[in-house]
Amino acid sequence: MYISLKSILIGILCFLFLPSLSAQLRQQYILDKDWEFRLDKADTAWEKVSIPHTWNAQDGTTPKYFRGVGEYRYLLYISPEMLKKRAFLRFEAVSQVAEVSVNGQNIGTHRGGFNAFCFEITDRLKKGSNLIEVKVSNSEEEYIAPLEGDFTVFGGIYRPVSLLLLPEVCITPLDFASSGIYIRQKTNSERSHLSIQTKVDSGGKKTNSKLIVRTSLFDAKDELVGRQSTQESADEENALSFINTFDVEDPILWDGRKSPHLYRVFVEIMKGNTVLDTLSQYTGLRYCSIDAQKGFLLNGKSYKIKGVNRHQDRIDKGWAISREDQLQDMEIIKEIGANGIRLAHYPHADFFYSLCDREGMLVWAEIPLVGKARSDAASEENIKLQLKELIRQKFNHPSIFCWSLFNELSRGDVKALVEELNDLAHAEDPDRYTVAAANIENRPENKVTDIMAYNTYPGWYWGEPSTMRSSLGHWNRLVGEKGIAVSEYGAGANVWHHWQSDRKVPKADGIFHPEEWQAIVHEENYQAIASSPFVWGSFVWNMFDFASASRMEGDMPGMNDKGLVTYDRKIKKDAFYYYQSLWSEAPVVHITSKRDIARNNSVTRIKVYSNCDHLVLKVNGKDCGAPVKNDNIYIWENVTLKKGENEINVSGDRNQVKQADRCKWIVL
């Protein structure tokens, strides 16, 4: 059968166009439609699927979700014209072992569920129909991280697959499936020094002495800033390496949410005056540091990270999400007013890092070394591979300020492994911090990385929410008072669970997870974080509810309900609006407990989150007077409701923009 292919231009952002020459020299075909799939079980028939795809979209929130083998096949039509190019098959991610064959011949195996991989298939293709087969396994493997974790490991080809048709001499796609271009910078407010390395695959021909790499730098208006060329190269990992350098005077800085200015680096491979290959990458010029007293500094100015954690899965889709899904996630994160994102607990889609570049989000990027590590050679080599792939594939994203090496390691002597990972990260990228997230004090590996962060849950797994303040001071002392971040904190909440007067701490592993308690935990936790100058950043756990198949709590089996937004992205919990009132410039007025419609008592407390002035609360048209204010929390005590239906209205204004909220409660 004939499979039509959808051609797109290569670019780090799908919405930015490259010069037309790129379309002539290299093409990228997204292989998304008309795949066939079956589980590797007896009597399982082939079914038509589209990529991205996971076989756990429906059972990923059940304890016995399928972890095993699935098979994919695709019939690829190749024209005679296409055979004139070199052909590469690139998978952005497969969970978590992929064995790939073309026309019955094995072309390679990749182990690891989150990074891209690329194989050359030039010699395997023929004119007409070509059969691509991919055998995929998400079975638990003792040597592939994550070895454990509080999240579902969805199986399948859950990110895009591409056919790349490139010139014989090309910017290599085979350097750990990276772009083949690496942009390093040394930047301050007056000058930025750029060193741009390009790795070229000459197709085995001895043409390196005649090759020229010309690199051009354009600003966000696509105006030429500078251009450099070099013929000098060095052999490096089966490729020729060329370096061009620039000094940019008075650079326009990538300045976080305020001004995320992106430059475009355009690389051309030339032989004489003939252009052989081209590729663009985007970068932002910025510098950051962490000071024990001043906290996080972006471009020399204080910039406390107000962050959230994100898992990538969604209801009825698992990890097989679309670009539209990712755009929606970003819009919700922007809406809350965050300026940083911890992409936990693994590498996320390249498109999402590109969104972070464009939107000015600082990113904590992470490998899936979660909970448990093994000291055998196979396990250590695999996690090193995953780290190297992450760094090379995401190297050019200005949003990334650190590489995270582990999360909550709790068993065994793994300091030596973490030291090796730390050395590897610095060798691959000398310009970014290494970081880790710990939850057990005094473990040896906690002192390895450049900076340190801690996962702590006062008010949920232990203690009262108010103990966050003393906990922060304790963790900071453990690192020699160098400053810390809070990489996780929060509490669970089911939006249909409520209480009206009780303040007893609910059981974290229990059925009842009232939305009101989650809000209290975040209020008291974040007040401690915001008032502690040595805390350079914090990341709410979690932005969205996510699948965790082993959990049975909160009346939502298979779900971690600590999100500020529900799994389907449809309901923002009260705690969402608490942060929005603190972080967002937009006017916010939100009545808490609006979903708790049935009221037991006629006398109640009303709590509102707002960043507005002149708040007025009216119940059944009657002004309730002045509230008690604590930061952006407004409380009216002892408000009297009437029997039956009551209408609650609150209004205020911010910068002369009026904002209001309303709800109805019924006294039984």
Q: What span, in angstroms and rounded, lies between the C-alpha atoms of 87 and 107?
A: 12
- Name the token pair of 356: 């972070």
- Note every long-range contact of 496-502, with CB atoms under 8 Å and residues 24 or more positions apart, other chains counting: 496/555, 496/595, 497/554, 497/555, 498/593, 498/595, 498/596, 500/593, 500/596, 500/599, 500/600, 500/601, 500/604, 501/601
- Name the token pair of 505: 């701490």
The confidence score (pLDDT) of residue 504 equals: 78
Residue whose entry in the numeric block shows the structure tokens 């007896």 = 42
CB-neighbour burial class of residue 26 (10 A; exposed 0-12, middle 13-18, buried 19+): buried
Q: What span, in angstroms and rounded, lies between the C-alpha atoms of 297 and 193?
A: 20
As a whole number, mean pLDDT of residues 636-662 equals 96
The confidence score (pLDDT) of residue 406 equals: 97
Strands lying side by side in the sheet with 628-630: 589-591, 603-610, 633-640, 628-630
For residue 413, pLDDT over 70 is answered with yes
> If pLDDT is split at 50, 70 and 90, which confidence band does 8 have?
very low
Average pLDDT, the chain: 93
Residues facing residue 49 across a β-bridge: 35
Q: What span, in angstroms and rounded, lies between the C-alpha atoms of 281 and 196?
A: 11
Counting residues of the chain whose pLDDT is more than 90, the rounded percentage is: 90
Comparing 9 with 281, the larger pLDDT belongs to: 281
- Name the token pair of 135: 């055998």
- Name the token pair of 490: 């929060």
Instruction: Characterize 383-407 residue by residue with b for buried, 16 or more Cβ atoms within 10 angstroms of its Cβ, and e for exposed.
Output: bbbbbbbbbbbbbbbbbbbbbbbbb
Residue 527, amino acid: Q
- Could you count the other beta carbons within 10 Å of the beta carbon of residue 90? 18
Q: What span, in angstroms and rounded, lies between the C-alpha atoms of 415 and 426?
A: 16
The confidence score (pLDDT) of residue 336 equals: 98
pLDDT digits (tens, 9 = 90+) for 509-542: 999 999 999 999 999 999 999 999 999 999 999 9
For residue 474, pLDDT over 50 is answered with yes
- Label residue 154 left, alpha or beta by phi (over 0 means left) and psi (-120 to 50 means alpha): beta
The confidence score (pLDDT) of residue 32 equals: 96
For residue 204, pLDDT over 80 is answered with no
pLDDT digits (tens, 9 = 90+) for 587-600: 999 999 999 999 98
State whether the Cα torsion 112-118-123-128 is positive or negative.
Answer: positive
For residue 17, pLDDT over 70 is answered with no
E strand or H helix that includes residue 638? strand 633-640
Q: What span, in angstroms and rounded, lies between the C-alpha atoms of 239 and 404?
A: 28
State whether the Cα torsion 227-228-229-235 is positive or negative.
Answer: negative
- Could you count the other beta carbons within 10 Å of the beta carbon of residue 599? 17
- Rounded to the nearest angstrom, the gap between the alpha carbon of residue 383 and the centroid of all alpha carbons in its chain is 19
Q: What span, in angstroms and rounded, lies between the C-alpha atoms of 172 and 119?
A: 11
Spatial CB neighbours of 470, under 8 Å, sequence gap ≥ 6: none
- Name the token pair of 136: 């995929």
Q: What are phi and psi of 364, to 5 degrees?
A: -95, 115
Active site residue 464: no
Residue 352, amino acid: F
The confidence score (pLDDT) of residue 22 equals: 42
pLDDT digits (tens, 9 = 90+) for 308-352: 999 999 999 999 999 999 999 999 999 999 999 999 999 999 999
The confidence score (pLDDT) of residue 237 equals: 67
Q: What span, in angstroms and rounded, lies between the C-alpha atoms of 584 and 590?
A: 13
The confidence score (pLDDT) of residue 206 equals: 65
Residue 240, amino acid: L
Which region among 12-26, 29-43, 257-271, 520-534 has the lowest average model confidence (pLDDT)? 12-26
Which region among 129-138, 233-242, 365-374, 638-647 has the lowest average model confidence (pLDDT)? 233-242
For residue 16, pLDDT over 50 is answered with no
> If pLDDT is split at 50, 70 and 90, which confidence band does 117 have?
very high
As a whole number, mean pLDDT of residues 610-619 equals 96
The confidence score (pLDDT) of residue 270 equals: 95
Out of 408, 488, 516, 553, the active site residue is 408
Report pTM. 0.94
As a whole number, mean pLDDT of residues 601-630 equals 96
As a whole number, mean pLDDT of residues 32-48 equals 91
Spatial CB neighbours of 620, under 8 Å, sequence gap ≥ 6: 642, 646, 647
DSSP string, 170-186: EE-S-STTS-SEEEEEE
Q: Whole-angstrom distance between the N-terminal and C-terminal Cα of the chain? A: 66
Pairing outcome for strands 546-547 and 274-283? unpaired
Spatial CB neighbours of 480, under 8 Å, sequence gap ≥ 6: none
Pairing outcome for strands 340-343 and 305-310? parallel
Count of positions (residues) in the chain: 668
Q: What span, in angstroms and rounded, lies between the C-alpha atoms of 559 and 645?
A: 34
Helix axes 323-336, 574-583, angle to 10 degrees: 60
- Rounded to the nearest angstrom, the gap between the alpha carbon of residue 192 and the centroid of all alpha carbons in its chain is 27
As a whole number, mean pLDDT of residues 93-99 equals 98
The confidence score (pLDDT) of residue 203 equals: 82
As a whole number, mean pLDDT of residues 299-315 equals 97
Q: Reduced to 3 DSSP states, what percent helix, strand and coil does the chain have, rounded to the nearest 5?
A: 15, 40, 45
Which region among 28-32, 212-216, 293-297, 650-654 has the lowest average model confidence (pLDDT)? 293-297
- Name the E strands within 313-384: 340-343, 362-366
> For residue 181, which of 197, 195, 193 has the smallest C-alpha distance?
197
